A = this chain, B = another copy of it.
């Protein structure tokens, strides 16, 4: 036991469960998970997994299953890795606060397997001695009541968010150690040197196609045929590229073409569009909000992205109200503000 790593994974849904299973498969870790909604079911009967990588598994359970982060912090255990695979909604829950009970300063490495951009920043502020690892997963997997269906291979790129305090060597070693407890012959887990580059590359799609489809209620095909691709999304891509450039990241010359053609042949609905359709809050802040903060710091103009962001903030407000996160009075309160 003592030679094994203590690993906690938070958010064992479609993606998280396959990541957890992969770590268990390697066998170097003492694996715990936090699972909220399906806790009772998973505690009783484990996961039934139908996986393109691992085949059919019935009743799989890791060593420990907890209903909350607080519960995972009760045993006197020092976690070597805390992996976060939840949705990333800092305007609702701040992940860096959520995980506080399970972080040991200077020891626990945090692995953010989440959508978004510049995710390290709030962690560096709160945990300056900890390595913050970036995992970008290209997996297709979903969860229906504890039954996991993985339809696309678990392929991921793992790097570290560059800490302002820690050395390159420490961070790189920790990141590669994480890969050694996760990578196996069934999945594909690659070390990628530049997290920032990779996250910018993803944003060229996510900040422009994902957002605009969410706002207009179409898939990327209809966005193209309606003219929105050329009138909004492509000019918005140029804004992302300009921010990246000002931030020292040079994206390939054909990046716009590659991104536009990435859903070729599919009437593909990106994640934010699907969230709006389902009435779920959108990952607006980590995809667009964080980019606009950096743009402002670097003094790069982003007129289109700013309007899209402000519009999606209104949509997010509507989605939060729909989720019962707040209630408005029956009669609209009158503002006595003078607007000009």
Give A contacts to B, CB under 8 Å.
Answer: 212, 215-218, 221-228, 230-232, 234, 254, 256-257, 260-261, 263-267, 303-304, 307-308, 310-311, 313-318, 321, 328, 331-332, 334-335, 338-340
Asked if A310 meets B222 with Cβ closer than 8 Å, knowing A216-B318, A257-B340, A339-B234, the reply is no
Residues of chain B within 8 A (CB-CB) of A226 are 313-314, 316-318
Residues of chain B within 8 A (CB-CB) of A311 are 212, 215-216, 228, 232, 308, 311
Residues of chain B within 8 A (CB-CB) of A317 are 218, 222, 225-228
Closest residue to A331 on the B side, CB-wise?
B265
Q: Which of B263, B266, B308, B338 contacts A307 (CB 8 A)?
A: B308
Residues of chain B within 8 A (CB-CB) of A304 are 307
Closest residue to A237 on the B side, CB-wise?
B339
Closest residue to A266 on the B side, CB-wise?
B332
Closest residue to A255 on the B side, CB-wise?
B340
Residues of chain B within 8 A (CB-CB) of A307 are 232, 303-304, 307-308
Query: A257–B256 Cα gap in the complex (Å)?
Result: 42
Stoichiometry, as copies per complex, reads 2
On whether the beta carbons of B339 and A257 are closer than 8 Å, the reply is yes
Query: A230–B313 Cα gap in the complex (Å)?
Result: 12
On whether the beta carbons of B334 and A218 are closer than 8 Å, the reply is no
Residues of chain B within 8 A (CB-CB) of A260 are 339
Residues of chain B within 8 A (CB-CB) of A218 are 314, 317-318
Q: What are some 10 contacts across the A-B interface (CB < 8 A)?
A: A215-B311, A216-B318, A226-B318, A228-B313, A228-B314, A231-B310, A256-B340, A260-B339, A265-B334, A267-B332
Between A221, A304, A311, A313, the greatest number of chain B beta carbons within 10 A of the residue's beta carbon is seen for A311
Residues of chain B within 8 A (CB-CB) of A212 are 311, 314
Extra inter-chain contacts (9) besides given A225-B328, A228-B313, A256-B339, CB under 8 Å: A216-B314, A216-B318, A223-B314, A225-B317, A226-B313, A227-B314, A228-B314, A228-B317, A265-B331
Query: A223–B257 Cα gap in the complex (Å)?
Result: 36
Residues of chain B within 8 A (CB-CB) of A340 are 254, 256-257
Residues of chain B within 8 A (CB-CB) of A227 are 310, 313-314, 317
Residues of chain B within 8 A (CB-CB) of A225 are 317, 328
Query: A293–B55 Cα gap in the complex (Å)?
Result: 59
> 9 tightest A-B contacts by CB?
A226-B317, A228-B314, A216-B314, A231-B310, A221-B332, A307-B307, A260-B339, A226-B314, A257-B339
On whether the beta carbons of B257 and A338 are closer than 8 Å, the reply is yes
Between A218, A221, A332, the greatest number of chain B beta carbons within 10 A of the residue's beta carbon is seen for A332
